[in-house]
Structure 1
Amino acid sequence: SVGCRFKRVQCTPDLLPTDVTGASIFNQKTSEFEFRPGPIFAQIVLADEINRTTPRTQAALLEAMAEGRVTVDGTTHTLAPPFLVIATQNPIDHEGTFPLPEAQLDRFLVRFSIGYPTMEEELKMLEMLQFGHPLDQLKPVVTADQIVACQKAVRAVHVDEKVRAYLTEIVHFTRDHEDLSLGGSPRASIALFRTSQAMAAIQGRDFVQPDDVKRVAESVLTHRMILRPESRLRKVTAADVVSEVLATVPVPILSGKE
């Protein structure tokens, strides 16, 4: 648990962009318009079932996710750091879902598929929920300022020139892959760079190794790729493509601390 402002947005087909960003409301007492901020002005925003809302409303998140600010009625508002959007989505073959545009998918740093818990995990879950919800007992273990400090520390993690070339080659390889109609964008390279730094920091190192890049590549790249129709018919997945790319691109050999 973190000591940040949190808001949850339940995405539905009738959700409007102003329900996310906020809107200017006319105050009859002062005869002036007053801006009432929406949930996007929290520091951690959960967009639950994001693909149940329309592309127009989904697009309301784009500026905030890319630049950390929101423009409403011609006025730009800067969001307080740290700012993070977490989204869940239903399987795209479910009725009443709207696939996310490529531009928005590209703005999510990573994607994870949680799946179902094991039987042992589910039994443990029932035990924990018997007398109350565990989340009700959570206390913040880190402040917003500490998170910002950690983000700055991650940016200071050293990335050798060979590793930078390695991760860039991985992304470039996806752009020419025969199974993809759309590969990784420059934003994918940045995301792979940053997450590799974070993985190294989590491992207690101040430098990135090629294994850090490999470890995060699937989570960073798969949601940014678009498979060709014929590849889908052959049951090829984006994860398969990433695995093939990682097996093809030569891994650099580093000396010393590099």
Structure 2
Amino acid sequence: MASNGSRVPLIGITTYLEQAKFGLWELPSAVLMRSYLDSIVAAGGMPVMLPPVGRWLPEHVSHLDALVLSGGADIDPSRYGQAPHAATGTLRLERDTSEFGLFHLALEADIPVLGVCRGLQLINIALGGTLHQHVPDVAGSNSHNPSSGVFGTNDIKLAPGSVVASLVGEHTIVHCHHHQAIDQLGSGLTAVGWAQDGTVEAVELAEASFVIGVQWHPEENHTDVRLFQGLVQAAVQRKSQ
């Protein structure tokens, strides 16, 4: 319980579903980087892991106070009318189905949403947008994804007056690891952050009380949880209404 007697906001966060080794076992498992969970806790929320199993219903989502769409595998390009690029990675169709459903339910319930990397891309596609399937084809470099298992850094500019800028400022250095990015924006979305090469790095949905997506990985900046604090605060405000 929070110190004022109110319930700590429950922040649902999507997970991977992968073959994982732990203890004596190597089995299909719901897994997620601990940095996400630590960031949510540090921001004042309680993380609730949402694995891509079964079908999510409104009554499930109604228990959540906010939703984080985490990073991960490339999204099936058929969802935005394209064939796979040669560089498009192994797809996770079960996860796509689960998370598109979760996002639409959260949107209908006006539950605050933060999309991280793949999560930003999912928000864009769900609202009718498209992706560049391989950023080096457009940007001419691998600066957004320097190598496997390594985060790059990018210098990001945020639009003055945007929600994201109100949380992290109009200029920030971020950790990134992505080879795909927004091409055409989904309906209602506004681009509010850009890398130096023009890649869209942050979006907001004006018609929702709080729906933002960032192409970078804020959970990897362990001393700065302001985006997660913004999500938790939006959840608290929604509960108080």
- TM-score of the superposed pair, with normalisation by structure 1: 0.27
Structure ranking higher in helix proportion: 1
Structure ranking higher in strand proportion: 2
Higher relative contact order (CA 8 A, sep 6+): 2
